[in-house]
Amino acid sequence: MGKDVIIACDFSSAEQTLAFLDRFTGRKPFVKIGMELYYAAGPEIVREIKARGHKIFLDLKLHDIPNTVKKAMAVLSRLDVDICNLHAAGTAEMMRAALEGLTRPDGTRPLLIAVTQLTSTNQEALEQELLIDRPIDEVVMSYAQNAKNAGLDGVVCSPLEAEKVHRLCGEAFLTVTPGVRFADGDKGDQKRVMTPAQAKAIGSDYIVVGRPITAAADPVAAYQRCCDEFIG
């Protein structure tokens, strides 16, 4: 897989999602299915979108005891998605178990990436609630290194962290980055953002773009603009 734009399909029903995807009559975009849509529409929506020819990043952020995550990942691998994820906070043992579960009998498996620290967690919450007394940046890099050591393929991170992750974990370690906005666009609730062109310049492997495409007057044109800026 190369550089690509992943559309975050943050819809609450299968009907809405399929109506949105119907607009893309040319190139089939890579699609991210998150908890909202998966919990509303179940594995059937994954099968349907896959059958329509899209690649899928199933963003369910698993975090449980290793055995449970292993078994859940085995189920997800049968859905034939392209990327799955989990929380690096579940420990290296959990990440290794996830990889085992994800690997099909023929040795193939979806890519597995880790969430380091959620971008909604700030330094204060880290110290006061999670009792982690280190700079958040250091925690993110340490979790990325743990994910790499456990054999994972990459991390979800802010575009601002992508360069540092690549320096620490190598260029082949994937950085999948949300928080992308057009230079002339609305930031919404995202605080630390980059344009697709900037994300390309700092070496993001995949950008995850939601509202700048899903809420655009012309989503197909907005998607094309992202691809032009990011892939070239």
Q: Any idea which residues carry the catalytic annotation?
A: 61
Contacting residue, 211, 216, 224, 227, with ligand C5P by CB under 6 A: 211
Cα–Cα nearest to 118, from 75, 74, 63, 181: 63
Identity of the residue, 118 or 183, whose beta carbon is nearer to ligand C5P in the bound complex: 118
Give me the helices (H) in the chain, please: 14-22, 35-51, 66-77, 92-102, 123-128, 136-149, 159-169, 196-201, 211-214, 219-230
Say whether residue 86 binds ligand C5P (CB under 6 A): no
Q: Mark the segment that binds ligand C5P (CB under 6 A) among 67-75, 90-98, 121-129, 208-216.
A: 208-216
Identity of the residue, 74 or 132, whose beta carbon is nearer to ligand C5P in the bound complex: 132
Say whether residue 63 binds ligand C5P (CB under 6 A): no
Q: Token pair for residue 25?
A: 């009559």
- The phi, psi pair for 56, rounded to 5°, reads -130, 130
Contacting residue, 29, 90, 196, 210, with ligand C5P by CB under 6 A: 210
Q: How far is CA 188 from CA 35, 53, 128, 211, 213, in A?
A: 20, 30, 27, 9, 13
Q: Mark the segment that binds ligand C5P (CB under 6 A) among 67-75, 129-137, 203-211, 217-225.
A: 203-211
Q: Mark the segment that binds ligand C5P (CB under 6 A) among 13-21, 39-47, 72-80, 205-213.
A: 205-213
DSSP code at position 215: T
Rounded to whole angstroms, the Cα distance separating 94 from 191 reads 31
Contacting residue, 159, 178, 196, 219, with ligand C5P by CB under 6 A: 178
Q: Token pair for residue 24?
A: 């893309």
Asked whether the beta carbons of 56 and 31 are under 8 A apart, the reply is yes
Rounded to whole angstroms, the Cα distance separating 221 from 123 reads 38
Say whether residue 8 binds ligand C5P (CB under 6 A): yes
Say whether residue 112 binds ligand C5P (CB under 6 A): no
Q: At closest approach, how far in Å is the CB of 105 from ligand C5P?
A: 31
Identity of the residue, 10 or 163, whose beta carbon is nearer to ligand C5P in the bound complex: 10
Query: Which residues, at least 6 apart from 21, have a Cβ–Cβ distance to it below 8 Å?
Result: 9, 29, 31, 49, 52, 54
Identity of the residue, 152 or 156, whose beta carbon is nearer to ligand C5P in the bound complex: 156
Say whether residue 34 binds ligand C5P (CB under 6 A): yes
**CA of residue 143 relative to chain centroid, distance:** 16
Q: At closest approach, how far in Å is the CB of 227 from ligand C5P?
A: 15
Give the binding site for ligand C5P (CB under 6 A). Answer: 8, 10, 34, 118-119, 156, 178-179, 188, 190, 208-212
